[in-house]
Amino acid sequence: MQAPPPAALAARDLACRRGDRLLFRGLSLAMLPGEAMQVVGANGTGKTSLLRILAGLLRPYAGTVERGGEVALLDGRLPLDEHLPLGRALAFWERIDGRGYGAEARARWGLTALEDVPVRLLSTGQRKRAGVLQANARGAPIWLLDEPLNGLDSAAAEGVEQAVAAFCAGGGAAVIASHQPFTLAGMRRIDLADYAP
Amino acid sequence: MSAAAAILRRDLALLLGNGRGGPLLPVLFFCAVAVLFPFAVGPDAKLLARTGGGVLWVAALLAAILPLDRLIAPDIEAGFFDQLALRGVAEEAVCAVRLVAHWLSFGPLLVLASVPVSALLALEGETLRLLVLGLLAGTPGLAAIGLIIAALTASLRSGAALAGLLLVPLAIPLLIFGAGALAGGDPAALAFCAAISLVLCAIAPFAAGAAVRAAREG
């Protein structure tokens, strides 16, 4: 008898409270390597909080999370020094990760020509693409993406969808919180409205 | 270890460069107090020599408040701490490195500046020696208090004003023993000042790290 493959990410009976408000409760999920899941829900229902709980940055009000490996989280913020040129700002994270992200990854996200542009001068979409590179290029087996398509043009959005598809095909597990349609074959959906108290 | 080196490199570039307001503001403030004080109390050399050391200590203490609002808060807002935590770098480690960089960005400069400005206050000989040694012993403690307060107030809206208020009472022991060494001419007080500094430096990374984590829940 073969043992089932280890879960990439499992959560049991999660509840999240922010301030005085219970956002969701009784949420369980189990993801195998290669799976993708979209988290949907109206604004303020706890999509971002759920991803932060899954990443281990926020303590759940109840329940447990098990992670089968390192987690990459892409959220609305850009942890790059605003006054530095993009190349040098990214170099800090390349040193932390102990690996260069490479010219090929930069080219894929259309950042090659922006290497010498200060981060504060980047447009919304360019910032998002730089964020994708910063968060996801280090080879973590679990991706948590919070509104990854915000501010991206259709070509770049398609690029993100293809990147997630390739990542899952390579055995990665991805959770995508988005209220925009995200096209990915075989993606599961979880609606936070089902877990509202 | 390579992560710590990378973080220290970024911190020093930020705090010594122009990324966070630059290191010159605390030193200019410190020198400005020394320049203004003789104008305010008059050119009586004896009076200046008796009070000047204490004034420079107060100036150093207040100068240490200036960089606090930019010390931790911008990195929490931009998600640096979160992304480092996801990569397995503990908040305590980040804060320990930040403490070193923070002290380097204002401590040595204040100590160096205290030598020329002490001439304006008629401080010389043994008093000057005790002042320089005292600042050398006390500024790491000031940096440690500053780091803790910067982390605690990072997620508050009026954190900057509160940071100034909070640092003053916490820094009183350093001031008593650091400036007290000048009044009594007693090197033993300096040893106390250095001991307080050491304790504060040992606590600061843990206190600041816990504060950064607590800020996530807010």
Count of CB atoms situated within 10 Å of the CB of A165 = 17
Contact A80 B82 (CB under 8 A): no
Q: Of the candidates B70, B96, B68, which has an alpha carbon nearest to the alpha carbon of residue B84?
A: B96
Q: Examine residue A76 and state whether it is found in any structural domain, yes or no.
A: no
Please, which pLDDT band fits residue A4 given cuts at 50, 70 and 90?
A: low
Do A162 and A65 fall into the same domain?
Answer: yes
- β-strands A173-177, A142-146 pairing: parallel
Residue B163 C-alpha from the chain's centroid: 12
CB B130 within 8 A of CB B194: no
Q: Which residue type is seen at B155? A: S
Do A118 and A151 fall into the same domain?
Answer: no
pLDDT at A2 over 60: no
Strand order in the sheet with A173-177: A71-74, A142-146, A173-177, A36-40, A188-191
pLDDT at B194 over 70: yes
Do A130 and A146 fall into the same domain?
Answer: no
Contact B19 A55 (CB under 8 A): no
Å from B39 to nearest chain A CA? 40
Q: Examine residue A16 and state whether it is found in any structural domain, yes or no.
A: yes
CB B141 within 8 A of CB B160: no
Count CA within 13 A, CB hemisphere, residue A1.
2
Contact A57 B83 (CB under 8 A): no
Q: Examine residue A179 and state whether it is found in any structural domain, yes or no.
A: yes
- Name which of A73, A83, A135 is nearest B19 (Cβ-Cβ): A83
Contact B86 A72 (CB under 8 A): yes
CB B214 within 8 A of CB B151: no
Please enumerate in sequence order all residues whose Cβ is within 8 A of that of A85, keeping only pairs 6 or more positions apart, or say none.
Answer: A115, A116, A117, A118, A119
Please provide the average confidence, as pLDDT, over all residues in chain B.
91
Residue A5 is predicted with a pLDDT of 57
Please, which pLDDT band fits residue B140 given cuts at 50, 70 and 90?
A: very high
Do A34 and A4 fall into the same domain?
Answer: yes
Q: Examine residue A197 and state whether it is found in any structural domain, yes or no.
A: yes
Q: Examine residue A190 and state whether it is found in any structural domain, yes or no.
A: yes
Do A127 and A163 fall into the same domain?
Answer: no
Chain B residue numbers touching A84 (CB-CB < 8 A): 19
Mean pLDDT, range A22-48, rounded to an integer: 91
Do A129 and A146 fall into the same domain?
Answer: no
Q: What is the DSSP string of chain B?
A: -HHHHHHHHHHHHHHHSSTTS-SHHHHHHHHHHHHHHHHHH-S-HHHHHHHHHHHHHHHHHHHTTTTGGGTSHHHHHTTHHHHHHHTT--HHHHHHHHHHHHHHHHHHHHHHHHHHHHHHTT--HHHHHHHHHHHHHHHHHHHHHHHHHHHHTTTSTTHHHHHHHHHHHHTHHHHHHHHHHHHHT-HHHHHHHHHHHHHHHHHHHHHHHHHHHHHHH-
Please, which pLDDT band fits residue A58 given cuts at 50, 70 and 90?
A: very high
Residue A136 is predicted with a pLDDT of 87
Contact B88 A80 (CB under 8 A): no
pLDDT at B203 over 90: yes
Mean pLDDT, range A105-115, rounded to an integer: 90
Do A66 and A156 fall into the same domain?
Answer: yes
In angstroms, the CA B55 to CA B38 distance is: 11
CB B134 within 8 A of CB B184: no
Residue that the structure tokens 């984590």 belong to: B213
pLDDT at A1 over 60: no
- Token pair, residue A182, equals 């995200």
Domain count for chain A, please give it.
Answer: 2
Å from B191 to nearest chain A CA? 38
Please enumerate in sequence order all residues whose Cβ is within 8 A of that of B96, keeping only pairs 6 or more positions apart, or say none.
Answer: B204, B205
- Name which of B2, B14, B86 is nearest A73 (Cβ-Cβ): B86
Q: What is the pLDDT of residues A122-134, one digit of tens each?
A: 999 999 999 999 9
Count CA within 13 A, CB hemisphere, residue A7.
10
Residue A3 is predicted with a pLDDT of 53
Do A179 and A146 fall into the same domain?
Answer: yes
Residue B149 C-alpha from the chain's centroid: 11
Domain that holds residue B176: 2-217
pLDDT at B21 over 90: no
The CATH number given to whatever domain includes residue A181 is 3.40.50.300
Residue B90 at interface with chain A, using a CB cutoff of 8 Å: no
In angstroms, the CA A86 to CA A193 distance is: 39
Domain count for chain B, please give it.
Answer: 1
Nearest CA in chain A to B1: A96
Q: Examine residue A75 and state whether it is found in any structural domain, yes or no.
A: no
Residue A20 at interface with chain B, using a CB cutoff of 8 Å: no
The residue among B86, B89, B217 with the most chain A CBs within 10 A of its CB, best to mutate, is B86
pLDDT at B216 over 60: yes
Do A38 and A125 fall into the same domain?
Answer: no
Count of CB atoms situated within 10 Å of the CB of B46 = 8
Q: Of the candidates A63, A81, A31, which has an alpha carbon nearest to the alpha carbon of residue A187?
A: A31
Q: What is the ipTM score, two decimals? A: 0.92
pLDDT at A39 over 90: yes
In angstroms, the CA B110 to CA B216 distance is: 34
Q: What is the dihedral of CA A152, A158, A161, A163, to 10 degrees?
A: -100
Total beta-carbon pairs less than 8 A apart between chain A and chain B: 61
In angstroms, the CA A158 to CA A164 distance is: 10
Count of CB atoms situated within 10 Å of the CB of B151 = 30
